[in-house]
């Protein structure tokens, strides 16, 4: 099997991936996550999905990946293209415009982000990982770790406190500043800012701690004011002697956040750091300077690089950046109507984008809505090292390609489940076995070659074309089905849930008991994740209609969920509550599920 190679922004070269772990098994990866002041747009998700694909490819290579993606809920200022950003806090600005408290605003957009991430099947938000806070650290909850890093920077003389009680990074102490972005000193100075009355030693210096009485989120480094009690307790433990007395109440700079959170949850050194290319400078450049200044972090240079093995003053060994996204070959623009959030595409009418809805309808999307797996397909389908041009035509092409994949997958499954054609042998032919093994190998080779998804997709479709010309027996269809599922471990675009099924009368009867029903409900993934599951349960027990949207959003209808609905309906029937039983049937119908009562039981079809 081929080895995984990645383009390392730090060296600008293609390098063989090798983990820092001496056992060669575990991989640590940090991805800069969303700033939660609005709905994340498709350009943001392109970079998050790149991290998702990278993580899945690492897993396919046998690594165990710990993937941390943070939530920025404080300190990200509006003018963020210079290292020493200025302007208002993005969150505070949005909160002011909406008349909300910034914390409330942050939670609102964080929840929306999580919802979108799940719909787009980001693995770090699926299953148990979704509820592990250390994998999704919030900046506002890591101020103790940030102040600890700032204090270290001061002690190591990589930072200084100005007259206003703010802390600046002293860039002259770190000559490697600029190595990641490849910027030379003139460019760095051009990307710096000095405000009137400000006392910086070098225009390139950037703040680590900012003092601004107008800022709504404030922490007092010398007292309890502004702190969440648990965070304050941790702060006292981390820094029993506190920080430099000259530091005034304020808030952290955006860059120090990621240095602190990455260290808190992954340790001093990490294997991979990802982000969008707009993060390279200043954000990641500053992260490197901070982590080195505070903790003297060095990572070995990967083998196969020109400076093989020699240590680098950085805390991440591989820096992987996704390139930008354009819409219709232009920058996304609200004025041109080409600014898309994920939810705009999922349901433009709810987002009050009537014009987008009709454009999508014209392109063949039913109801003007784009299914989440089509959006995922479109956003992962080109290589991350290339800019992406997004358009409705590209979405349509993604939809068509996915449909071909899905149709082949469904047919294969049909052959496997009907599996008794006597004319066809029960063992797979060498021809099919060879096709499967070659395709799988070529797919891996493409992905290991710096995540070349276009080449990997070419392998998928050439396999599908070949399979389409063959008449497959059940054993062969089984092999081909396994191949498609193997592709989908990385791509994760197929609808792999059953499209029809039968619930026997015996099965249905066994659920006519509230404890069994409750256990059954508890086993469902989205039930377990529902925020008000106790309330849902009380409603069902009281014979009221549950809140269906919470119980199972439409795109989550699968065999288990349908079974649960049928079980609730049977319980209603038993209690002679036919209004409720009929309401459940209608509700299922709305979700595309037809239920037919047959002598064998309940046959359902998801259309």
Check: CB of residue 69 under 8 Å from CB of residue 51.
Answer: yes
Q: Is 370 left (phi over 0), alpha (psi -120 to 50) or beta?
A: beta
Closer CB to Zn ion, 261 or 562, in the complex: 261
CA distance 304 to 17: 10
Minimum CB separation from Zn ion for residue 304, in Å?
28
Residue 283 C-beta: closest distance to Zn ion, Å: 5
Query: Which of these segments, 207-215, 251-259, 504-512, 548-556, binds Zn ion (CB under 5 A)?
Result: 251-259
Closer residue to Zn ion (CB): 32 or 562? 32
Contact pick of 68, 91, 161, 258 for Zn ion (by CB under 5 A): 258
In the bound state with Zn ion, the residue whose beta carbon lies nearer, of 256 and 374, is 256
Regarding 494 and contact with Zn ion (CB under 5 A), the answer is: no
Among positions 356-395, residues that touch Zn ion (CB under 5 A) are none
What crossing angle do the helices spanning 143-155 and 285-295 adopt, rounded to 10°? Answer: 70
Asked if residues 207 and 84 have their Cβ atoms less than 8 Å apart, the reply is: yes
The nearest distance, CB 439 to Zn ion, in angstroms, is 38
Euclidean distance between CA atoms 509 and 382, whole angstroms: 50
Give whichever of 262 and 571 is closer to Zn ion, judged by the CB atom. 262
Sequence-separated (6 or more) residues with CB below 8 Å from residue 117: 48, 124, 125
| 32 near Zn ion, judged by CB under 5 A | yes
State the nearest-atom distance from the C-beta of 282 to Zn ion, in Å. 11
Nearest approach in angstroms of CB 255 to Zn ion is: 7
**Cβ contact 235:144 at 8 Å:** yes
Distance in Å, CB of 76 to Zn ion, minimum = 9
Task: Count residues binding Zn ion (CB under 5 A).
Answer: 2
Coil/strand/helix, residue 426: coil
Would you say 113 or 527 has its CB closer to Zn ion? 113
What is the spatial distance between Cα 600 and Cα 602, in angstroms, rounded to a whole number? 7
Stretch that binds Zn ion, among 27-35, 132-140, 235-243, 335-343 (CB under 5 A): 27-35
- Supply angle C-alpha 480, 482, 488, rounded to 5: 110
- Please choose, out of 60-68, 254-262, 431-439, 566-574, the segment that lies near Zn ion by the rule CB under 5 A: 254-262
Nearer of residues 32 and 593 to Zn ion, judged by Cβ: 32
- Cα(27)–Cα(57) distance, rounded to whole angstroms? 12
325 binds Zn ion (CB under 5 A): no
**Among residues 258 and 480, whose Cβ is nearest to Zn ion?**
258
Q: Tell me the residue ranges of DSSP E strands in 241-387.
A: 251-252, 270-276, 316-322, 325-327
From the list 15-23, 136-144, 200-208, 258-266, the region that binds Zn ion by CB under 5 A is: 258-266
Q: What is the rounded CA–CA span in Å between residue 549 and residue 567?
A: 18
The span from the CA of 11 to the CA of 303, in Å, is: 12
Stretch that binds Zn ion, among 32-40, 423-431, 486-494, 528-536 (CB under 5 A): 32-40
End-to-end CA distance of the chain: 40
Q: How far is the CB of 145 from Zn ion (least distance, A)?
A: 14
CB of 190 to Zn ion, least distance (A): 23
In terms of CB distance, is 260 or 436 closer to Zn ion?
A: 260
* C-beta closer to Zn ion: residue 38 or 338: 38
Q: Is 327 left (phi over 0), alpha (psi -120 to 50) or beta?
A: beta
Residue 553 C-beta: closest distance to Zn ion, Å: 30
Where does this chain bind Zn ion (CB under 5 A)? 32, 258
């Amino acid at each position: 099997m081929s080895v995984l190679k990645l383009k390392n922004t730090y060296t600008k070269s293609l390098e063989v991936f090798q983990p820092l772990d001496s056992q060669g098994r575990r991989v640590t990866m940090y991805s800069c996550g969303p700033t939660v002041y609005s709905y994340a747009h498709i350009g943001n998700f392109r970079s998050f999905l790149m991290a998702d694909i990278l993580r899945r490819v690492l897993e396919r290579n046998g690594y165990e990946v710990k993937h941390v993606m943070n939530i920025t809920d404080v300190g990200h200022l509006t003018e963020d293209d210079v290292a020493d950003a200025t302007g208002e806090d993005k969150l505070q600005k949005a909160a002011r415009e909406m008349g909300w408290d910034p914390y409330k605003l942050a939670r609102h957009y964080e929840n929306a982000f999580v919802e979108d991430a799940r719909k787009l099947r980001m693995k770090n938000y699926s299953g148990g990982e979704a509820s592990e806070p250390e994998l999704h650290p919030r900046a506002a909850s890591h101020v103790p770790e940030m102040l600890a890093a700032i204090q270290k920077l001061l002690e190591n003389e990589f930072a200084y406190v100005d007259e206003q009680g703010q802390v600046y990074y002293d860039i002259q102490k770190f000559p490697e500043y600029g190595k990641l972005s490849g910027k030379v000193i003139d460019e760095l100075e051009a990307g710096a800012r000095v405000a009137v009355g400000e006392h910086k030693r070098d225009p390139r210096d950037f703040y680590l701690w900012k003092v601004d009485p107008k800022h709504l989120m404030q922490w007092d480094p010398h007292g309890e004011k502004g702190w969440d009690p648990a965070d304050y307790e941790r702060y006292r433990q981390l820094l029993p002697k506190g920080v430099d007395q000259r530091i005034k109440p304020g808030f952290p700079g955006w860059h120090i956040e990621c240095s602190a959170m990455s260290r808190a949850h992954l340790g001093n050194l990490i294997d991979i750091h990802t982000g969008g290319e707009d993060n390279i400078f200043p954000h990641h450049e500053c992260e490197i300077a901070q982590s080195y200044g505070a903790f003297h972090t060095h990572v070995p240079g990967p083998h196969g690089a020109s400076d093989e093995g020699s240590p680098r003053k950085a805390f991440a060994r591989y820096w992987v950046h996704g390139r930008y996204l354009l819409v219709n070959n232009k920058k996304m623009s609200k004025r041109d109507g080409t600014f898309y959030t994920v939810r705009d595409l999922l349901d433009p009418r709810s987002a009050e984008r009537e014009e987008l809805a009709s454009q999508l309808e014209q392109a063949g999307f039913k109801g003007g809505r784009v299914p989440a797996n089509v959006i995922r397909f479109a956003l992962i389908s080109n290589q991350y090292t290339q800019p992406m041009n997004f358009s409705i035509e590209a979405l349509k092409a993604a939809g068509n390609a996915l449909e071909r994949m899905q149709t082949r997958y469904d047919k294969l499954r049909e052959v496997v489940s009907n599996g008794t054609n006597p004319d066809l042998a029960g063992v797979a032919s060498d021809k099919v076995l060879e096709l499967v093994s070659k395709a799988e190998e070529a797919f891996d080779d493409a992905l290991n070659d710096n995540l070349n998804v276009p080449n990997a997709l070419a392998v998928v479709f050439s396999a599908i074309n070949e399979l389409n010309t063959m008449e497959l027996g059940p054993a062969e269809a089984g092999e081909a089905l396994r191949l498609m599922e193997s592709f989908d471990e990385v791509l994760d675009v197929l609808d792999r849930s059953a499209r029809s099924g039968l619930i026997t009368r015996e099965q249905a009867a066994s659920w006519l008991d509230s404890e069994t029903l409750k256990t059954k409900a508890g086993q469902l993934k989205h039930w377990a994740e529902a925020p008000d599951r106790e309330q849902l349960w009380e409603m069902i027990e009281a014979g009221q209609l549950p809140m269906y949207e919470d119980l199972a959003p439409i795109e989550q209808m699968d065999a288990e969920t349908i079974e649960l609905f049928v079980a609730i309906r049977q319980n209603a029937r038993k209690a002679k509550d036919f209004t409720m039983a009929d309401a459940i049937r209608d509700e299922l119908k709305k979700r595309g599920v037809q239920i037919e009562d047959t002598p064998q039981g309940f046959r359902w079809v998801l259309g």
